[in-house]
Amino acid sequence: MKTYAGDLKKGEFVLYQNEIWQVQKADFYSPGKGAALMKARIKNVLSGKNIDYTYKSSESVETADVESIEMQYLYKDNENLYFMDERTYNQFSLSLQIAGTIASFLKEGEKCYIYVYNEKPIAMRPPMSVTLKVVETEDSAKGDTVSGAKKNAKLETGVVVMVPLFVKNGDLISVNPETGEYTGRQ
């Protein structure tokens, strides 16, 4: 499917060099002379590489018909993550390399959005935050009130994150799966 570069919007998928890229930012630019331009930052959905690309606004751009489907995370093995589309009960696998570090924060049964192109999963959109239980952390010493101090905490999925000193074993905490940062206690 083709569209004009001047109509590109953030979040759309385009084909560039025979690969699928997602538009991260699109700015319309009209110089004093000459044709208007669309400056876009695009991200390769497979490699995660970002590039800046400038289109003439009247230039034709090939868009990719990528569907975002909410799926349930089932399990993982040494190479893949497995998801199920709850509407059709179809199961899909996504390479651990594509999922990256986000896979460490997923619990079985959790909902995620998977990008599907030509009936094949190509990437995942992680949740903004996940709630996980702290299974192992050291106790803080009484009177230890250093501002901004952190300690390691092992979560139920096995991943270790830095948390404030007041977090204890058994606490439920929120974590941003893209950055691995603690965002709050439940």
pLDDT at 70: 93
User: Which range among 65-74, 114-123, 144-153, 161-170 shows the weakest confidence by mean pLDDT?
Assistant: 144-153
Between CA 59 and CA 103 the distance in angstroms is 38
Q: What is the mean pLDDT of residues 144-155?
A: 79
DSSP string, 113-163: EEEEETTEEEEEE--S-EEEEEEEEPPPPTT---TT-EEEEEETTS-EEEE
DSSP state of 68: E
Task: Summarize pLDDT for 165-181 with one digit per residue, the tens.
Answer: 888 899 999 999 888 89
Query: Which of 117, 74, 70, 112 has the alpha carbon at shortest distance from 93?
Result: 74
Q: How far are the Cα atoms of 65, 108, 135, 144 from residue 84, in angstroms, in the given order?
A: 21, 11, 28, 46
Q: CATH 2.30.30.30: which residues of the chain?
A: 2-62
CA distances from 92 to 1, 18, 185 (A): 25, 23, 33
Query: Longest Cα pair distance anywhere in the chain, in angstroms?
Result: 68
Percent of the chain's residues with pLDDT above 70: 96
Helix (H) or strand (E) holding 16: strand 13-16
Selected from 1.10.20.140, 2.30.30.30, 3.30.830.10, 3.60.15.10, the CATH number assigned to the domain covering 2-62 reads 2.30.30.30
Tell me, what's the pLDDT at 75?
93
Give me the pLDDT at residue 147, please: 67
What's the CATH number for 130-185?
2.40.50.140
CATH of 67-125, one of 1.10.630.10, 2.40.50.140, 3.40.50.720, 3.40.50.300: 2.40.50.140
Give all strands of the β-sheet with 19-29 in edge-to-edge order: 13-16, 19-29, 37-44, 50-56
Average pLDDT over residues 105-117: 90
pLDDT in tens, 44-67: 887 778 899 888 888 889 998 888
Query: Each residue of 58-102: pLDDT tens digit?
Result: 888 999 888 889 999 999 999 999 999 999 999 999 988 888 888
Position 143 scores a pLDDT of: 57
Task: Kindly give, in sequence order, each residue whose CB lies less than 8 Å from that of residue 99, ignoring residues fewer than 6 positions away.
Answer: 81, 124
Check pLDDT > 70 for residue 144: no
Residue range(s) in the chain whose domain bears CATH number 2.40.50.140? 67-125, 130-185
Location of structure tokens 């949740």 = 127
pLDDT score recorded for residue 32: 79
Q: How many CB atoms lie within 10 A of CB 82?
A: 16
